[in-house]
Structure 1
Amino acid sequence: MSVGWSSGEYPEKLVIAMKNFDTVFSAWHDDNLVGLICVMDDGIMNAYIHYLLVKPDYQLKGIGKELVERVKKHYQDYLKIATITMESISKFYEYSGFEKAEDKCALFITELEN
């Protein structure tokens, strides 16, 4: 949880979620996982980067950029790759080729009633 990943608070659910992603690329230093990117897609047109995580000690070393490049290559025949990110790191995605949509916003339901 060194990156403040709220999903890490639910390890049982996270294991299942990771198995259900369409694409996962990881970065390793020796036997240590230092970066991870997880993508969902519809099989032909749209891909969505759901998680991109790099351990703090390994940030600003090109790992996140390389993970995004792998996703871009993997989905090069798709029409769109999208992500939702915090404003504080949106510049990273812009540097990686993403553009902010002027006429769109992200909407969430974070608490579902049972």
Structure 2
Amino acid sequence: MSSITYHDNRIISAEQFVDVLDRSTLARRRPVHDEGRISRMLKHANILITAWDGEKLVGVSRALSDFSYCCYLSDLAVDVHYQKQGIGKELIQRTRDIAGENASLILLAAPDAVEYYPKIGMENFNDCFIIRRKSS
């Protein structure tokens, strides 16, 4: 069993981010072929938690928060070879710790992950509305 370390202050490159998205299920739903957009996604997130197996990035939580009322967890990606080890749950907990207990943690689940979130104590909320982006 490998020893996973977590960081909330380690900057990652767009290439590293895309790589872990590719190794999880999220690359299908992210603009991984647009490096500029991926770079902006990283630059403007104000919470970024990373999980590492040595020097290998194996998980990421990328979020936007006001640290007092809400925190939108935009990306939760764990390499498929590292899933079911509690890494996703730990990334969520660390994101919540930084956002603060008064901030609601909100996310839109990827279709493959809909069954995961209730298992770790997240409530399914049906009253969500969205205006879709103009480009993927």
> Same fold by TM (over 0.5)?
yes
Q: Do structure 1's residue 48 and structure 2's residue 72 form an aligned pair? A: yes
User: Structure 1 residues 10-19 or 72-81, which shifts more?
Assistant: 72-81
Matched, 1:61 2:82: no
Contact 1:68 1:96 in 2 (8 A): no
CA distance in 2: counterparts of 1:39 and 1:92, whole angstroms: 18
Between 72-81 and 29-38, report the one with greater CA deviation.
72-81
Q: CA RMSD in A?
A: 1.8
Matched residue, 1:110? 133
CA distance in 2, matches of 1:81, 1:107: 17
**1:65 deviation in Å?**
0.9
Please report the TM-score for the alignment, with normalisation by the length of structure 2.
Answer: 0.72
| 1:46-71 Cα distance to aligned partner (Å, 9 max, x none) | 10100000111111111111101111
Taking the TM superposition and a 5 Å limit, the aligned residue runs for 1:9-28 are: 9-28=33-52
Whether 1:2 and 2:23 are equivalent positions in the alignment is yes
Alignment of 1:68-83 (within 5 A): 68-83=92-107
| Structure 1 unpaired stretches of 5+ | none
Whole-Å separation in 2 of the counterparts to 1:71 and 1:7: 23
Q: Distance in 1 between matches of 2:129 and 2:109?
A: 9
| % same residue | 21
Q: Which runs of 5+ in 2 are unaligned?
A: 1-21
**Normalising by the residue count of structure 1, what TM-score does the alignment of the two structures yield?**
0.84
Identify the structure with bigger relative contact order (alpha carbons < 8 Å, sequence gap 6+). 2
Partner of 2:58: 34
- Between 19-28 and 79-88, report the one with greater CA deviation: 79-88
The count of aligned residue pairs is 111
